[in-house]
Amino acid sequence: MDKKKMVALVAHDNMKRDLAEWVDWNCSILATHPLVCTGTTGKIVEKTLRNHNDPYCDAERLNIHLLKSGPLGGDQQLGSMIVGGQISALIFFCDPMAAQPHDVDVKALLRLASLYNVPTAVNRATADFIISSPLFFDPDYEPAVKDYKSYVERVLA
């Protein structure tokens, strides 16, 4: 049985529609993997997919798990999943033109994705590259995670 990749979906407010359209466009690929979304983003994705004509790509058939809204703790829930090794890819459509009121949470989430070597896309082109990579379909591929134990021991010494 193929190992499924858990794909996390997050978007800033002005980018939620773009992410939902990207999910709709790539639904046939994403339908084979469980998805986890911060709350508001996930609701917009589900609403967009309700209008999809493909019966295999509707919101009911997709395995979408909704977390809390980002500012209400969804970013931290997702960060916990990254630390727990549950997330295979993070698709985070960032808005480069607007200041974000919970920017600290966003930076923490992106830091964890970097620390745990989770493939991360912050725009549509990179998201396309991630899901079109042969590694995305390789059930045995696991990104190497650096062991920071010696770093922590040195800092605490």
* Number of domains comprising the chain: 1
1 belongs to a structural domain: no
pTM score, whole prediction: 0.90
131 belongs to a structural domain: yes
35 belongs to a structural domain: yes
Per the structure block, which two tokens stand in for 129? 């590259």
Task: Spell out the residues 6+ positions from residue 39 whose beta carbon is closer than 8 angstroms to its own.
Answer: 66, 67, 68, 69, 70, 72, 74
12 belongs to a structural domain: yes
108 within 8 A of 119, measured Cβ to Cβ: no
Per-residue model confidence as pLDDT tens digits over 93-121: 999 887 776 678 888 999 999 999 999 99
Per-residue model confidence as pLDDT tens digits over 29-44: 998 899 999 999 999 9
> What are the residue numbers of the active site?
75
Asked if residue 59 has pLDDT above 70, the reply is: no
Q: Which domain holds residue 59?
A: 7-156
- CATH code of 119's domain: 3.40.50.1380
149 belongs to a structural domain: yes
